[in-house]
Chains A and B, each alone.
Chain A
Amino acid sequence: MTTATPARTLPPLGGFSPALVGLELRRMLRNRRTVIFTFVMPAVLLLLFGNNAKYRGTGVGAGNVTGYIMVSMAVYGAMLATTSGGAMVSVERAAGWSRQLRLTPLRPVAYIAVKLVLAMTIGLVSVIVAFAVGGAIGARLPVHAWIECGLLAWVCALVFAAFGLFMGYLLPSENVMQILGPVLGVLSFAGGLFVPVDQLGHVFATIAKFTPVYGVGEIARYPLSHDGSLWLGVLNVAVWTSVFAVGAMWRFRRDTARV
C-alpha cells in the first residue's frame, strides 16, 4: 500500500456530515434569489397584509388577526424555503454536480438526507423571521401558541421538502424555482394562506380542502384558532406527503439506476 496514503476507508453515514451541511448551507445563503424568496418575501407580505390597527384589535381564538396572518405567512415562508431546499437537486443535476458526486463515496441516500436537513434548516429560519416580524407589528398569541404554531408550521413544511425533491428530479431546469414560485403562490392562495378559504365561496372552499397547502395551514393555526377540522388537515398533510415522497423516491430511483 502506498505509504503516503491514509488507509482507504469509507466515510461513516454514507458521507453525511455536519461539515457537509455547513458548506451547503453557506452556498445556499449566498444565492440572493433564495434569500429573498424564503426570508424577505414572507416578511414583506406579512407587513402588507397584517400590519394595520383593525387586525391588531380584532380577536381570533386566543389571539388577534395579525397573529393569524403571521402564522399563515410563517407557513408560506417555510414552504418556500423547504421547496427551494429540495429543488436544489434540479440545479445540481443540470450542472452535472450530481454526476461529480458519484465520483465520491457519498451515498445517494446521504445526499438526500443532506438536502432534507438543509431544507428544514432554512425552513426554521424562515418561520423565525416571520415570527420576529409578527412580534414587531403587534401579533398577539398565547405563549403556548407561539411555540406550537411555530413548530407545526415548520414540521409540516416537510411536505414541501418532499415536493421540492420530487420537482427537482422531475424538472431538469436551472431555474426550477421560477416555475415553482408561482405554483406555490397559487397553491397558497387555494390553500387559504392569503385569504381564509370560507371567504372564497362554497365550491372553491371545498376544492381548497384537497390542495396540499390547506392542511399545513389548518394544522399550524390550530393552536391559535381551535377551529376548522384538525383531522381533515392531518389527513391532507399525510396524503400529500405520501404522494410527494413516493414521487420523489420514484424519480430518485430512476436517477440512480442510470449509474
Chain B
Amino acid sequence: MVITADTAPVTRPSDHLAVDLDGVVKSFGTVTAVNGITLQIRPGEVVALLGPNGAGKTSTIDMVLGLSAPTAGQVRVYGRRPRDAVALGLVSAVMQTGGLLKDYTVEETVKLTATLFGRGGGTVDEALERAGISDIRRRLVGKCSGGQQQRLRFAMALVPNPELLILDEPTTGMDVGGRHDFWTAIREDARSGRTVIFATHYLEEADAYADRVVFVRRGEVVADGTAAEVKALASGRTVRATLPGADQAALRALAGVDSVEVRGDTVVVHARDADAVARYLLTRTDARDLEITSRNLEQAFLALTADDATDNGSSR
C-alpha cells in the first residue's frame, strides 16, 4: 500500500471489529431489555443470536443499526457510530416485519433504495437476481406473499453491498419451502465473505447456518460458542442419580464430563460419555436410582434460556 500525504485517517473496514458491543444496556422505563451485553464480532463471521422471544435480540439489533441508542455502554460498527455505518452502507438489515409500501412494485422498491445509496440500475438488477425475485419485479408489493416480501427486504439489504448483513428473525411466518429458499439465498451470499448476524428462535437455523452461536436470555449472553461447540452441547447425555455427599471434583475429573450439578441428594452430570459416568457412579460410589437421558439441542436451549436455569453448560 502506498503511503500518501493524506491527512485524513485511512480507516479500512477490515481493521475493525464488525460489531463491538461494550457493556450495552437498554432500558425502557423500568423494563431492562438488554442488561449489559459485551460482544465482539469479527469480519467474516456468521453469527446466530439465539434466544426466546423477549430475550433482547431485537433490542440489541436495533442498537447495532442505530435505530435506538443504548441507555449505557457503547456500540461500534466497523469502528463507527451505528448511524454512520448505516448511512455509508457498511451495514444493512432484513427486518422482521413491515418496512414495505404496498403501492410500490418490487422493482421500484429496490430502485428507490439504490437511488438513496447513489447506486445505478445495475445494482438493482443484481440485487433482484441474487434475492431470486427477478421474475416478480413488476408485481406490486401488496400482492407478494410473505416469503416474497422477505426476499424483497433481502434484495434491498443487498443494494449497498454491505460488509455486515443483519437478519432479525428473517423466516418468521414462512412455510418450510420458503424458509429453505430464503436460507439458500443467504448461504449463497455469505460465501462472498460477508459478515452475517441473524436473530432466531429456531434452533435448526442457528445450528445449520451459523459459525458461532450466541445464546441470549433476559438481556444477557448466557453462552457463546462455535456451532461445533453447540453441537457438542447438544450431543451429550444427562446422568442423574441419588448420591448423598457426592464428590463433585472427582466427577468433573472424569473424561467427557461437561458439567456437574448437585441438588440436595441428587447429582446431575452432563457428559458426552454418559456410559463412563454411569459405570463410575455404580461401581465406585453408592449412587442409586440412576437414570440416563439424552439431551438434544432443544433441551440444551431450554436449559440455557429458561428463566430458572442455572448458567451451566456454557461453552466459554
Where the two chains meet, the residues of A that have a C-beta atom closer than 8 Å to any C-beta of B are: 1-2, 4-6, 8-11, 15, 17, 19-20, 23, 26-27, 30-31, 91-92, 95-97, 99-106, 258-259
Contacts and interface: CB of A to CB of B under 8 A. Distances in A.
Nearest to B114: A19
Contacts of A91: 101
A30 B103 contact: yes
Contacts of A97: 98-101
Interface string B51-85: 00000000000000111110000000000000100
Chain A binding surface, main DSSP class: loop
B69 A95 contact: no
A8 B92 CA distance: 13
Interface in B64-122: 65-69, 83, 86-90, 92-93, 95, 97-104, 108, 111-113, 115-119
Interface residues of B, number: 37
Interface of B: 12-13, 65-69, 83, 86-90, 92-93, 95, 97-104, 108, 111-113, 115-119, 156, 160-161, 163
A160 B296 CA distance: 62
Contacts of A17: 115
Most chain B CB inside 10 Å of its own CB: which residue of A26, A102, A105, A259: A105
A60 B119 CA distance: 55
Nearest to A19: B115
Contacts of B115: 17, 19-20, 23
B108 A8 contact: no
Contacts of B89: 8, 105
Nearest to B116: A104
Nearest to A16: B116
Contacts of A31: 103
B68 A259 contact: yes
Contact of A99 (B13, B67, B160): B67
9 contacts: A11-B116, A20-B115, A27-B108, A95-B99, A96-B97, A96-B100, A103-B86, A259-B68, A259-B69
Nearest to A110: B116
Given A4-B161, A259-B66, A102 B103 contact: no
B182 to A, nearest CB: 18
Nearest to A31: B103
Contacts of B113: 104
Chain B binding surface, main DSSP class: loop
Contacts of A19: 115
Contact of A23 (B68, B93, B111): B111
A23 B108 contact: yes
Contact of B101 (A2, A95, A102, A258): A95
A138 B111 CA distance: 45
Given A27-B103, A258-B68, 14 more contacts: A1-B13, A2-B161, A11-B118, A15-B116, A23-B112, A27-B108, A30-B103, A95-B99, A95-B102, A100-B95, A100-B100, A100-B156, A102-B65, A259-B83
B163 A2 contact: yes
A10 to B, nearest CB: 6
A5 to B, nearest CB: 5
- What are the 3 tightest A-B residue pairs by CB atom distance, in nearest-first order? A96-B98, A100-B99, A105-B87
Contact of B67 (A6, A15, A30, A102): A102
Most chain A CB inside 10 Å of its own CB: which residue of B83, B102, B103, B160: B103
Contact of A20 (B68, B83, B102, B116): B116
Contacts of A26: 108
A136 to B, nearest CB: 31
Nearest to A18: B115
A102 B66 contact: yes
Contacts of A15: 116
A105 to B, nearest CB: 4
A95 B66 contact: no
A5 B108 contact: no
Nearest to A100: B99
B95 A99 contact: yes
B97 to A, nearest CB: 7
Given A1-B13, A97-B100, A103 B161 contact: no
